[in-house]
Structures are given as structure tokens and as C-alpha cells.
Structure 1
């Protein structure tokens, strides 16, 4: 005989307003809680900003020192590159305290004025460098839902959100 499995879920203990007035009170409490949460977040961000500024200030001299030392080592290494790389046979030079490495980055393409570049490629007959992208037009499907109702792979869904918006006033700026 198979053992029966039981699913246990914790009981939901939610205060459900029973009247319009109680619902209004609950919305007011939601507004108070939201404002308190915003105050806590603002206080946290103020403290984080102070901590970050303190550490950034302490780190700046170290960054400048690292940059100066690195530039000095690079200048020396470039002057002695043939010796260090065995006439460009290797790209890494080992020293007693670390390594000096020369690495080529992969090539990259940068386009400025994409429309002009596309026109030039078309005029020169270099269409193989132009990408044509086909994709489903979802906006058109939403406009004509009946036309695609029987197409497999297309489903149209719509959800509903429940939102509570407590009334709040904002402080006016004084000029």
C-alpha cells in the first residue's frame, strides 16, 4: 500500500479589513510604513556615502603611487624589452618579485556615423559586411491578435496587478 503524502503549508495570518473604513486605515498604515522605509533607506545611503568617501579619500594616494610605480616599471621594461623578451620570442619576463607581461588585445571594430558607414558599404558593393536581422514583430501581433490566433508558438497573455497607492503630498521647493 502506497504511503499517503501530505502537504503542509503555513497558515496565512493576514489582517483582512472588513469595512471600507478599515481598508482606508490599512492604506494609511501602508503609506506610513512606506515613508518609514524610505527614511531608513535614506539614512543608510547617507551613512554608506560617508564611509565610501572616507575610504576613497584614503585610497587616492595609493592609486597615485601605484600609477607612478607602474609607469616607471613600464618605461624601464620598454627600454629593455629586447633583453626581457629574448628578442620578442616570449611575451612574459619573470623577475624575482613578479612578472612583466605584454599582451595584444583582440582586434575590435568601432563605428562612428553608422548610417554613413552603411551607405558607403552598399555603394562599394560590400553588402557582406551588413547584417540583416529578421525577428517577429510583436507590436503588429498585438494589433491583429485574431490573425495569428491559430499560429503555433504564439500565445498572448495579459496579467493584472493589484496596487495600493497611499495619498502623499510632496514638499514644495522654496526658491
Structure 2
């Protein structure tokens, strides 16, 4: 028995207006729904603000206590580092309820006044430290699409049309 190919069908549209009057009414309904969404989002954000405010003082107090404890632990650990790390042979110390670690960050490079640094590197002949980035100039292609139309990998999209529905809103000043 041959297996039939499955056809991919577009989802059926649930609602299609049938007249100009229905389109007008549907746009009004769409505007009503969008305004209700905004009202609900605003109410939700108001409630989030109330909840955040009610917890903020406790959170700040706990953050301050946490910072104080961390500093106190770090000061003691630094003072006793040789004992904790077996004279620097290990970088982690287990203290039963947790561990402390000393880790070296990887090197990083910070550049200030980028243009001056690039110019100085070029003057000193250190071109290997200056990156040149090549990229396609899409604006130039769009200005002269006929010249590059035959090149594989370049597609010019044009005449793409978007549909938008914008219900009228009255702005209160």
C-alpha cells in the first residue's frame, strides 16, 4: 500500500468581514480590545509597583546584612589565607557550611579614545593590532540593483506590502 503525501493546509480564517459596515464595526471592536489591553497592562504594572514597594525595605535590609557578612568573611579569610589554602597550594577552602575561593580573572583590555589608539598603532607599524572589517554595502546595492542582480547570493526584495489596522484614538491633553 502506498503512503499518501500529507498536504500542508493553511489555517482557516475564523472571522472574515463581509461588508464595509462590518469592517468599520470590526475596527471599532479592535480599538476597544486594544484599549482594554492597555488598561489591564497598566493595572498589572500598578499592582507590581505596589508589591515591589512593600518588599523593597526588607530586601534592602537583607542586602546590607549580606554585604556586611561578605566583607567580614573576606577580611577573616584574607587574614588566614595561608592556613586556608595550604600556603597557596590550593585556591578553595571548604568551611563545612560552604567554601571560599580565590580565582584570577582572565586578562582584559580597556581602550580609551579609540581613534587616537588606532592612529598610534598605525604610526608605530603595529597593524596586526588593528582589525579591518569588510562587509557588503547594502545601501549601495539598493541604489544600483541592476548591476548586481546576476550575482548569486544577492536578492533584492521590493514591492513588499504590509497591512496595518490603526483604530482612531482620542488623545486627552
Scaled by the length of structure 1, the TM-score of the pair is 0.89
Name 1:169's counterpart in structure 2.
Answer: 170
| Equivalent-residue separation in structure 2 for 1:77 and 1:6 (angstroms) | 68
Q: CA deviation at 1:6?
A: 6.0
**1:91-124 deviation line (CA, Å, top 9, x unaligned):** 1111121111000111111111111111111122
Matches within 5 A, 1:11-22: 11-18=12-19, 20-22=20-22
Q: CA deviation at 1:163?
A: 0.1
Name 2:113's counterpart in structure 1.
Answer: 113
Check the 8 A contact 1:17/1:26 in 2, yes or no. no
Scaled by the length of structure 2, the TM-score of the pair is 0.90
More off after superposition, 38-47 vs 1-10: 1-10
Please list every run of 5 or more consecutive structure 2 residues that lacks an aligned counterpart in the other structure: none
Name 1:77's counterpart in structure 2.
Answer: 77
| Equivalent-residue separation in structure 1 for 2:71 and 2:120 (angstroms) | 41
Q: CA deviation at 1:21?
A: 2.8
Q: CA deviation at 1:13?
A: 2.5
Q: CA deviation at 1:4?
A: 4.0
Residue correspondences, number: 171
Please list every run of 5 or more consecutive structure 1 residues that lacks an aligned counterpart in the other structure: none
